[in-house]
Amino acid sequence: MAAPCDSKNRRELRIFESLDDLATDLAEYIAQLSEASVKERGFFTIALTGGSLISLIGKLCEAPYNRTVDWTKWYVFWVDERAVAKNHVDSNYKLAKDGFLCKVPILHSHIYSINDNVTVKEAAGEYKFAIRQLVKLRTIDVSECNDCPKFDLILLEAGSDGHVASLFPHHTTLELKDEWVTFITDSPEPPPERITFTLPVINSASNIAILATGGEKAMAVRAVIDLSADILDASSLPASMLNPLEGKLVWFLDRPAAAFIDTGGGGGDKQIVI
Ligand SMILES: O=C1O[C@H](COP(=O)(O)O)[C@@H](O)[C@H](O)[C@H]1O
């Protein structure tokens, strides 16, 4: 029986002068987590998302990481997927395959993409089943707080409305406590049908990295980071509901996205524990 855990809410902000600086630091951060997980558990389980994230992890495909990362120990998942064919321009799988997976030697059998040939309900069920099998084998670690899968790293990107994965403001999916994976048919952003991890799974990860780049995300970033304690209705801003139970949350921001938060003045790349 899992014991409830108190969230330590360990959060860190990393703010970069350029996207190139951000991408360099992000690649090093992922490579270090991969090395630590492989050393400790023999595997590295990572869940990807869509958006600009994939191009920002591109430096992992280059030297030194293309040689130093133990790619054969990687297991790749998706935090969310859109219900479109795998060769569709909106597919998060296609984005990751073309921009990242085809450039590194991850084993094909370790890539857990979401079925695009069945209904979203069936795809969510199949995906949950696959994850459950890997939890039983301890390829995916398990949270001692709630028996949820505990991914080594979940990568997210905040939308300008504060959504993360396919968890949108005020949506009932934000209330799910017992489901690992769910589906929606009414996404406010196209396409309407999507499959997504729930908050309990995301918050059970050992590490959550969330990216926000560009000025159009600055208001949402400010609301989550500076004002999160004052938000009366957290569901208006799903990114404010990221609250790792045992893990660590790191925000990767460029200057435009960090424009409205207090970074203590001065320029240069910054790392702030909050
Ligand atoms: O719809 C989605 O959006 C987010 C990123 O938001 P964007 O506004 O920067 O496009 C993405 O992370 C998520 O995987 C995706 O399905």
Residue with token string 């108190």: 6
Parent domain of 62: 39-263
Ligand 1 centroid distance, CA of 17 (Å): 22
Structure tokens, 186: 């009414």
**Would you place residue 4 in the very low, low, confident or very high pLDDT band (cuts 50, 70, 90)?**
low
Ligand 1 centroid distance, CA of 47 (Å): 14
Alpha-carbon separation of residue 69 from 41, 73, 125, 207 (angstroms)? 15, 9, 32, 18
Whole-structure pTM value: 0.96
The pLDDT tens digits for 107-138 are: 999 999 999 999 999 999 999 999 999 999 99
- What would the mean pLDDT of 133-144 be, rounded to a whole number? 97
- Distance (Å, whole) CA 144 – CA 51: 31
In a domain, 27, yes or no: no
In a domain, 65, yes or no: yes
**Would you place residue 274 in the very low, low, confident or very high pLDDT band (cuts 50, 70, 90)?**
confident
Give residue 267's pLDDT: 83
- Distance (Å, whole) CA 184 – CA 194: 5
Give residue 251's pLDDT: 97
- Distance (Å, whole) CA 59 – CA 109: 23
pLDDT of 9 > 70? The answer is no
| Residue to probe by mutation, ligand 1, list 55, 56, 80, 82, most atoms within 8 Å of CB | 80
Q: Please count the other Cβ atoms lying within 10 Å of the Cβ belonging to residue 173.
A: 20
Give residue 2's pLDDT: 52
pLDDT of 262 > 90? The answer is no
| Residue to probe by mutation, ligand 1, list 160, 189, 202, most atoms within 8 Å of CB | 189
Give the distance, in angstroms, between the CA of residue 165 and the centroid of all CA atoms in the same chain: 7
Ligand 1 centroid distance, CA of 194 (Å): 12
8 Å CB contact between 239 and 224: yes
- Distance (Å, whole) CA 125 – CA 75: 19
Tell whether ligand 1 has an atom less than 6 A from the beta carbon of residue 157.
Answer: yes
In a domain, 183, yes or no: yes
In a domain, 85, yes or no: yes
Give residue 162's pLDDT: 96
Tell whether ligand 1 has an atom less than 6 A from the beta carbon of residue 203.
Answer: no
Ligand 1 centroid distance, CA of 81 (Å): 10
In a domain, 231, yes or no: yes
Give residue 103's pLDDT: 97
Where residue 222 sits, what CATH number does that domain have? Answer: 3.40.50.1360
Region of residue 9 (left: phi > 0; alpha: psi -120 to 50; beta: else): left
pLDDT of 99 > 70? The answer is yes
- 236 class by beta-carbon count within 10 Å (0-12 exposed, 13-18 middle, 19+ buried): middle
- Amino acid present at 10: R
- What would the mean pLDDT of 185-199 be, rounded to a whole number? 98
8 Å CB contact between 105 and 71: yes
Tell whether ligand 1 has an atom less than 6 A from the beta carbon of residue 49.
Answer: yes
Ligand 1 centroid distance, CA of 37 (Å): 27
In a domain, 13, yes or no: no
Give residue 245's pLDDT: 94
Tell whether ligand 1 has an atom less than 6 A from the beta carbon of residue 166.
Answer: yes
**Would you place residue 1 in the very low, low, confident or very high pLDDT band (cuts 50, 70, 90)?**
very low
- What would the mean pLDDT of 28-41 be, rounded to a whole number? 98
**Range list of β-strands (E), the chain:** 10-16, 44-48, 74-78, 80-82, 141-142, 149-150, 153-157, 181-184, 194-197, 207-212, 248-254, 270-273
**Would you place residue 5 in the very low, low, confident or very high pLDDT band (cuts 50, 70, 90)?**
confident
Q: pLDDT averaged over the chain?
A: 94
Ligand 1 centroid distance, CA of 1 (Å): 35
In a domain, 241, yes or no: yes
| Residue to probe by mutation, ligand 1, list 166, 197, 224, 237, most atoms within 8 Å of CB | 166
Ligand 1 centroid distance, CA of 74 (Å): 23
- What would the mean pLDDT of 153-171 be, rounded to a whole number? 98
Counted domains in the chain = 1
In a domain, 147, yes or no: yes
- What would the mean pLDDT of 197-217 be, rounded to a whole number? 98
Give residue 189's pLDDT: 96
Establish whether the linkage from the previous residue to 191 is cis, with ω within 30° of 0: yes
Tell whether ligand 1 has an atom less than 6 A from the beta carbon of residue 80.
Answer: yes
The pLDDT tens digits for 44-84 are: 999 999 999 999 999 999 999 999 999 999 999 999 999 99
Residues of the chain with pLDDT > 90: what percent? 88
Give residue 10's pLDDT: 78
Q: Please count the other Cβ atoms lying within 10 Å of the Cβ belonging to residue 60.
A: 20
**DSSP state string for 211-243:** EE-SGGGHHHHHHHHTTGGG-S-GGGSGGGG--
The pLDDT tens digits for 226-244 are: 766 566 689 999 999 999 9
Give the distance, in angstroms, between the CA of residue 39 and the centroid of all CA atoms in the same chain: 22
| Residue to probe by mutation, ligand 1, list 49, 92, 213, most atoms within 8 Å of CB | 49
